[in-house]
Amino acid sequence: MRTVAVTRIGSLRDPDESARGQVGVVDFPDQPLGDEDVRIRVAYAAICGSDPHLAEGFFGTDVPIGLGHEISGVIEALGEKAHRTGLQVGDRVAGNFLRFCGTCLPCREGKQQFCEHIQDYNRPGMAETITWHESQVYKLPDTVSLLEGCLLEPTSVAVRIVDKTNIKVGDRVAICGGGPIGQLALQVIKMHGATSLTLIEPIAERREMALRHGAEHVIDPVGEDQYTRADEITDGRGYDIVIDASGSPRAVRGLLDIAAKGATVIYGAMYPAEFEMPLNLSDYLYLKELTLTGVFVSPYAFPRALQVLPHLELAELTQSVFDLADATEAFAMHMSGRFAKVVIRCNDIADSAASTSAVAGGAE
Amino acid sequence: MRTVAVTRIGSLRDPDESARGQVGVVDFPDQPLGDEDVRIRVAYAAICGSDPHLAEGFFGTDVPIGLGHEISGVIEALGEKAHRTGLQVGDRVAGNFLRFCGTCLPCREGKQQFCEHIQDYNRPGMAETITWHESQVYKLPDTVSLLEGCLLEPTSVAVRIVDKTNIKVGDRVAICGGGPIGQLALQVIKMHGATSLTLIEPIAERREMALRHGAEHVIDPVGEDQYTRADEITDGRGYDIVIDASGSPRAVRGLLDIAAKGATVIYGAMYPAEFEMPLNLSDYLYLKELTLTGVFVSPYAFPRALQVLPHLELAELTQSVFDLADATEAFAMHMSGRFAKVVIRCNDIADSAASTSAVAGGAE
Amino acid sequence: MRTVAVTRIGSLRDPDESARGQVGVVDFPDQPLGDEDVRIRVAYAAICGSDPHLAEGFFGTDVPIGLGHEISGVIEALGEKAHRTGLQVGDRVAGNFLRFCGTCLPCREGKQQFCEHIQDYNRPGMAETITWHESQVYKLPDTVSLLEGCLLEPTSVAVRIVDKTNIKVGDRVAICGGGPIGQLALQVIKMHGATSLTLIEPIAERREMALRHGAEHVIDPVGEDQYTRADEITDGRGYDIVIDASGSPRAVRGLLDIAAKGATVIYGAMYPAEFEMPLNLSDYLYLKELTLTGVFVSPYAFPRALQVLPHLELAELTQSVFDLADATEAFAMHMSGRFAKVVIRCNDIADSAASTSAVAGGAE
Amino acid sequence: MRTVAVTRIGSLRDPDESARGQVGVVDFPDQPLGDEDVRIRVAYAAICGSDPHLAEGFFGTDVPIGLGHEISGVIEALGEKAHRTGLQVGDRVAGNFLRFCGTCLPCREGKQQFCEHIQDYNRPGMAETITWHESQVYKLPDTVSLLEGCLLEPTSVAVRIVDKTNIKVGDRVAICGGGPIGQLALQVIKMHGATSLTLIEPIAERREMALRHGAEHVIDPVGEDQYTRADEITDGRGYDIVIDASGSPRAVRGLLDIAAKGATVIYGAMYPAEFEMPLNLSDYLYLKELTLTGVFVSPYAFPRALQVLPHLELAELTQSVFDLADATEAFAMHMSGRFAKVVIRCNDIADSAASTSAVAGGAE
């Protein structure tokens, strides 16, 4: 089965081509269909910001490493006992690349994000088919196209980020970082009560994209003084909620200063493994009583992500589409930063959905 | 000082004119300006659904009873010590008709809604001026007109209702009752993550108004089977949040059946004093684990109501405006139900705001 | 395999012996050991207040109906894949009679209490052995005896009741009903911040038992005026938390009047299927802003129930012990009400625990 | 009026006596009794860990600086309008040295800890009398002695710390630092559901004191490997709640490693103004999803602190008592660290309470 995979470990940005990481299409064995499993013919698989980290060997160095965990597709087979949720062959679906075991202590405490067997069904989805446990699979709403549906997983992350903010309607919100998670978090928190909603992002195109989809203000942290701007926007009070979706050590440093007293600050990205942010306990935790927390993965959020998905504007996140055979070019486009999101079409599947937001374009 | 007041106790609907309650304009003494007080020249005062209950003698029968607690205006005087919030003569303001004393036990527990001295500054606002304690007064945002600003108080009630739902983004929501609080709660919860948002309301005009302002579905509980419709809309799961804004014994009976397992049901209206809703503990609290609660008044919600106000569409709620001298006619219009809201212009004040949503019309 | 079962449908209290329900020991087929299952040799199985309802045919009328869901024992076999939690043959364990499927929508929303396949592994535990899915089984702490361990399940219910109260340290608490769940909830909320802790219970022995285990006050609702007493105890403020563990229509009626403004009232028992409690919306939900909710089953609570168990005083709840062969007598003793709890010894197993609280006695 | 005050700025630990800070008794003008004020004849005022920071000039350098904010006493006069809470001359009281204005935006948002006029009534309480606004004064329960009552304020801090943990019953808890706040937080969280309760503290006497009052385990971070010990105590899971009451840069560094995945860590002390704790975002906020927060002051917590107070064991915290005239010696004793708490008797007042826990001793 053709599968997109890392075929050589290395940075995808390495200027030395001989040392650069490589992504290509490889033949992988078919994934077995267990009794409680569901086989999905993959329609689309989106490239995630974490995929290049796999190329760098972050989670292991034995190539080939199959890629792809943001997928949509159509069910082509069901295991004998995969009948708990009423799924049928032909259903348009998306899902969670993680299966929660339900048996380990964290699962039984209601903390599936810490499931001790979380990787058991984590399989590459940039492939002709993927086979998941039934509990990982969700039927898409009729109004969500297969192309949009491959964004269910990053949307679930945005939903979990918003959940952890404990936002109340009317709270002032700033988001740092205008990549895919930042843009999705912005749209999700816009529909969940944010006011004075501000994106902080150095790239002009991403700021403009945010303004088209709900941001009331944008700040260029390079060209502007973000403290002064934040002060103006919030009448000197600061933001009640600050979300970092940048993962950037430079960007996160100033965020505690634009947070209001008593604010919640969510670290919603991956950070360099060795990076230590200096945290002044007296200023930020004692005097300002800030709450700092983060998000790893997104259990419990998928059912609501499915409810949210039809309310999002996803055309700009799905306009760059490549065929599976062109995966190498797709990753090159991803690295160029030209599009917030690049999608791989794994199979050409007719879509019955009322696809309202897909936009022609990209490298097609 | 001219003040709108109940001048005869009785139902405003009484067909017998000689027994019918009466509302008129009466001369009241000026309210004293204490050291920490603020005198406001009233621009607009909206009629509240609870005002006719005052005419019926619900809170006392000694006429005249001054009316009006949803007001906006311009500051014309400040007490010597009214300097804690930076208010200035000339500021455009609205506020809370209740002053929380800050000293009784409920206030010190963070439960101002149960303040034991809540009535000390509750003064009639359908008047030429009103004098409040500084803590009751909020400066309006520049983009909110004085006409819109008189809806700050009912908006704060909608905000508190939404606060008590503990809604998560993507939750399915139904609202029962399309009067002013129902319409405002609908708009506020729409901007706070509601999906499958449904208004249940027998009057067609109110259903249509809801559809113009964010409802995805409407149910006519008289002409339709609301259980079947709710089932269709929610894929058989029921609503995660149900808000009653009807106050109607007939309407509330079926609401627990359209609630999802584990749902929260908010009783957000006034109910007949003697009405007892039969509550099957086994079905609704044991097997379905519903949570039932209510809202009395709205402390802590005003600052966020001010943030929310510029995001609401208020033109349809402010289109019927009468002069103070025509208060009797204004109440007659209110009783006719033709407009969701009727507003009294207490003074003719030039408004510096960028009034974007006011609509000509009403009885003017 | 010998199993305690309902052998004739009928009330265990029926004075007409020919119509009375019957409980006896029956031979049941062995339960199959699936790959992910655990077979437990049962040490003790406690009679639950809901067991007599099964005799009445509440959940079905096809006899024999196997009984027993509060059990402890020792693992005697493990399925091939039952290795996620590190359980070993010989481990002393207790558990949850319900298995949550992990796949249905409620499970994936974090609401396992509404699992759609909750009954799949609900097997009779008053038997020589019971076979459960690994996810249902928890290793007992070394300091908890097998005899005490059979109370893990009702303790988990008490923990979930306490979870739903959202109690803050220092809140005033009343519990209505001094049966096993009432007594356990009293001990658990005593160790979770309750003050002015009061048990309301007509039976003197149960009131005295509560006073021995943490109650600061008791009220006899028959011999005393509970409103006056509650007023005295709470300085006229009422209780911040009221828990009903009585299940009695008569007892629940007055509870809303002893609740403080803003209080939470938990209905934590089973109620007659047809009983409707008259609920004055104006008084209790509007003016007092009470929150009413209930508890069905106790997912997510078991790991913490295991932490709580060594802190409870369980001797009085485990002093009446009968052998499996004497199950009929055990149920007769249960119906007599002489002991808060009656336990059946299903096998005679040597216990390695430091059993500190077992008390000789009962019918032995 | 005789008042204890800093009379020379400097560290109380300075070995150079000529540069050392000095504390003595000074004559201060009487505090005015406003209409809403209450004058209290002070019985006891406890020395707080923050008092030596005042000597160092932390909050200003103009001597004399009056001291004392943990006080109890008896009302000797009431302003004309100080009648909202029913206080009477002769009442035994304690209170909050901060008055919340009720008018600034934070107060109206329900965030009194950020009140913008918090210092208006902050007056020295180590004095013959203190005059507070009525909202700052609470009547002591009959069973709490005046000597114990002077600990109401630090108890309220412990209550607020516990509030912010969001602890559930059965959660594992560690507290770092065995000074007065650490000891009080330990007792308060012990009565609010903590299990595996552990004090981390290098001084043996403080560890032993904790074991006498509810700690199940103690760790000496100098003599033991705290990670290994924490692992053993928590079965390798870590603590669900970690509270720092040490304020020590050295002590706080390791706390995130003993926290369980998903744990809450509360910074509940004052920290050196310039200290920055290095925080690895990837390890602690992303992978472990920890929540970090802090506590400044304790609004809303006093009414429940009054409920909690009779449940605490306070004898060891009130055994070192000095007369007002001996304030210099009292501060020397405080600096010696021999007692967890040192108390100054400001007036010799007969106490009607059933004082059950006072212990003879100290320097008397």
Give the CATH number, domain containing residue C181.
3.40.50.720
- Minimal Cα–Cα distance from A263 to chain B, Å? 14
Q: How far is C109 from chain A (nearest CA, A)?
A: 4
CB D107 within 8 A of CB D278: no
Determine, for residues C110 and A299 on separate chains, whether the beta-carbon distance falls below 8 Å.
yes
Please check whether residues D221 and D172 belong to one and the same domain: yes
Same-domain pairing of A136 and A31: yes
List of residues 6+ apart from A245 with CB closer than 8 A: A161, A175, A176, A177, A178, A179, A181, A182, A185, A268, A269
Across B233-237, C322-326, C351-355, least confident range: C351-355
Contact A308 B195 (CB under 8 A): yes
Residues of C with CB under 8 A from a CB of A: 36, 84-85, 100-105, 107-110, 116-117, 133-135, 299-300, 302-304
Do B143 and B46 sit in the same domain of this protein? yes
Report if residue D279 sits inside a domain.
Answer: yes
Q: Does D79 map to a domain?
A: yes
Nearest-angstrom CA–CA distance, B293 and B295 = 7
The residue among B166, B167, B169, B171 with the most chain A CBs within 10 A of its CB, best to mutate, is B169
- The secondary structure of residue D282, as a DSSP letter, is I
Q: pLDDT band at B185, cuts 50/70/90?
A: very high
Q: Specify which residues A172 forms β-bridges with.
A: A195
- With CB atoms and an 8 Å threshold, state whether C163 touches D172: no
**Gap between the Cα atoms of C29 and C19, Å rounded:** 28
Which residue of C lies nearest to A86 if distances are taken between CA atoms? C104
Kindly identify which residue of chain B lies nearest to residue A185, measuring between CA atoms.
B169
User: Residue A333: which H helix or E strand, with range?
Assistant: helix A327-336
Name which of B78, B81, B84, B156 to mutate to probe chain D: the one with the most chain D Cβ atoms within 10 A of its Cβ. B84
Give B272→chain C minimum CA distance, Å. Answer: 7
- Of B43, B60, B63, nearest to B347 by C-alpha is B43
Query: Would you call C110 and A107 a contact, using CB atoms and an 8 Å cutoff?
Result: no
Contact flag B193-A195 (C-beta cutoff 8 Å): no
Helix, strand, coil tally for chain D in percent (to 5): 30, 25, 45
Given an 8 Å threshold on Cβ–Cβ distance, is D300 in contact with B108? yes
Domain residues for A242?
A: 159-294
End-to-end CA distance of chain B: 24
Q: Whose CA is closest to C61, among C100, C6, C107?
A: C6
Higher pLDDT, B363 or B202: B202
ipTM above 0.85, yes or no: yes
| C-beta of residue A183 within 8 angstroms of C-beta of residue A210 | yes
In a domain, D245, yes or no: yes
Question: Which pLDDT score is estimated for D141?
Answer: 97
Residue of chain D whose Cα is closest to the Cα of C166: D168
Does the distance separating the beta carbons of C105 and A102 come in below 8 Å? no
Contact residues, chain B to chain A, C-beta under 8 Å: 159, 162-163, 168-172, 188-189, 191-193, 195-196, 303-308, 311
C18/C11 Cα distance (integer angstroms): 11
Same domain? C103 vs C208: no
User: Considering the entire predicted model, what is its pTM?
Assistant: 0.96
Q: How far apart are CA C206 and CA D335, in angstroms?
A: 52
pLDDT at D160 > cutoff 60:
yes
What are chain A's partners, defined as 3 or more CB pairs within 8 angstroms? B, C, D
Does D84 contact B101 at a Cβ distance shorter than 8 Å?
Answer: yes
Residue D311: what residue type? H
Nearest chain C residue to D196 by CA distance is C307
Residue C359 confidence (pLDDT) above 80: no
Give the distance from residue A264's alpha carbon to the nearest chain D alpha carbon, in angstroms: 9
Which pLDDT band, with edges at 50, 70 and 90, does A354 fall under?
low
Residues C147, C86 share a domain: yes
Residue C104's pLDDT band (boundaries 50, 70, 90)? very high
B18-67, pLDDT tens digit by residue?
999 999 999 999 889 999 999 999 999 999 988 998 999 878 889 999 99
Question: D294–A285: do the CB atoms touch at under 8 Å?
Answer: yes
- Closest in A252, A276, A289 to D278, CB measured: A276
pLDDT for B117-165, tens place per residue?
998 888 999 999 999 999 999 999 999 999 999 999 999 999 999 999 9
Neighbours of chain B (3+ CB pairs under 8 A): A, C, D
Q: Identify whether B52 is preceded by a cis peptide bond (ω within 30 of 0).
A: no
Q: The tokens of A314 are what?
A: 């996803």
Same domain flag for D44 and D143: yes
Using a CB-CB cut-off of 8 Å, the residues of chain C touching A85 are 103-105
Mean of the pLDDT values across residues A112-132? 94
- Residues of chain B with pLDDT > 70, as a percent, come to 97
* Distance (Å) from the alpha carbon of D216 to chain A's nearest alpha carbon: 23
Residue D343 has pLDDT above 70, yes or no: yes
* Nearest chain B alpha carbon to D133: B103
Distance CA C68, CA B300 (A): 50
Tally of domains in chain C: 2
Can you state the angle between helices C180-190 and C152-165, rounded to 10 degrees?
A: 60
Query: Which chains, if any, share at least 3 CB pairs under 8 A with chain C?
Result: A, B, D
pLDDT in tens, A266-310: 999 999 999 999 999 999 999 999 999 999 999 999 999 999 999
Chain D residues within 8 angstroms (CB to CB) of chain C: 159, 162-163, 168-172, 188-189, 191-193, 195-196, 303-308, 311
Q: Is the pLDDT of residue D330 over 70?
A: yes
In A251-290, which positions are buried (b, 16+ CB within 10 angstroms) versus exposed (e)? bbeebbebbbbbbbbbbbbbbeeebbbebbbbbbbbbbbb
Q: What does the pLDDT average to over B62-78?
A: 96
Residue C307 lies in a domain: no
Preferred mutation among D155, D163, D169, D217 to probe C, highest tally of C CBs within 10 A: D169
- Pairing label, strands A92-95, A137-139: antiparallel
Interchain contact, A281 vs D294, CB within 8 Å: yes
Mean pLDDT, rounded, for C173-188: 98
**Could you give the CA distance from residue B324 to residue B46 in angstroms, rounded to a whole number?**
11
For residues C186 and C120, state if they share a domain. Answer: no
Tokens of B73: 């205006």
For the segment D187-198, the average pLDDT, to the nearest whole number, is: 98
> What is chain A's length?
364
pLDDT tens for residues A131-166?
999 999 999 999 999 999 999 999 999 999 999 999
**Residue D19, helix vs strand vs coil:** coil
Q: Which of B114, B261, B292 sits opposite C262 (nearest CB)?
A: B114
Which residue pairs from A206-213 have beta carbons closer than 8 angstroms and sit at least 24 positions apart in sequence?
A206/A178, A206/A179, A206/A182, A206/A340, A207/A178, A209/A178, A209/A183, A209/A316, A209/A340, A210/A178, A210/A182, A210/A183, A210/A186, A212/A313, A212/A316, A213/A183, A213/A186, A213/A187, A213/A313, A213/A316
Question: Which CATH number is B127's domain given?
Answer: 3.90.180.10
Which chain D residues touch B303 with a CB distance below 8 Å? 105, 108-109
Inter-chain residue contact B302 with D108, CB threshold 8 Å? yes
Give all chains having 3 or more CB-to-CB distances under 8 Å with chain D: A, B, C
Nearest-by-Cβ selection for D295 from A106, A273, A289: A289
* Residue A328 forms part of a structural domain: yes
For residues C221 and C277, membership in a common domain is answered with yes
Q: What is the pLDDT of residue A138?
A: 98
Residue D230: in which H helix or E strand, if any?
A: helix D226-233
Give me the pLDDT at residue A216, please: 98
Q: Is C286 contained in some domain?
A: yes
- Based on the domain organization, do D134 and D28 belong to the same domain? yes
Does residue C300 fall inside a structural domain? no
Cβ neighbours of B297 in C, within 8 Å = none
Give how far C38 is from chain A: nearest CA, Å.
12
Looking at the structure, tell me whether residues D10 and D146 fall in a common domain.
yes
Residues A76 and A207 in one domain: no
Percent of chain C at pLDDT > 70 equals 97
pLDDT-derived band at B354 (thresholds 50, 70, 90) equals low
Of B43-52, C346-355, D161-170, D265-274, which range is least confident?
C346-355
Among chain A, residues having any CB pair with chain D shorter than 8 Å are: 105-106, 111, 113-114, 237, 252, 261-262, 267, 269-296
In this prediction, residue C53 carries a pLDDT of 87
Residues in chain B with CB shorter than 8 Å from the CB of C281 are 252, 267, 271, 275-277, 294
Provide residues of B within 8 Å CB-CB of chain D.
36, 84-85, 100-105, 107-110, 116-117, 133-135, 299-300, 302-304
**Distance between CA atoms of residues B326 and B328, nearest Å:** 5
Residue C245, C-beta contacts closer than 8 angstroms, at least 6 positions apart: C161, C175, C176, C177, C178, C179, C181, C182, C185, C268, C269
Residue in D closest to B115 by C-alpha: D84
Once rounded to an integer, what is the mean pLDDT over residues B339-361?
A: 77
Q: What is the pLDDT of residue D358?
A: 41
**What is the predicted pLDDT for the residue at C354?**
65
Average pLDDT over residues A16-21: 93
* Over residues A217-223, mean pLDDT: 97
Alpha-carbon distance of A170 to B166, in angstroms, equals 14
pLDDT for position A359: 41
Residue D254 β-bridge partners? none
Q: Is residue D60 part of a domain?
A: yes
Residues A142, A254 within the same domain: no
Residues of C in contact with A135 (CB under 8 A): 102-103, 107-108
**Per the structure block, which two tokens stand in for A2?**
């053709």
The phi and psi torsions of D349 (rounded to 5 degrees) equal -115, 130
The end-to-end CA distance of chain D, in Å, is 24
Is residue A231 over pLDDT 70?
yes
Spatial distance between the Cα atoms of C292 and C284, rounded to a whole number of angstroms: 10
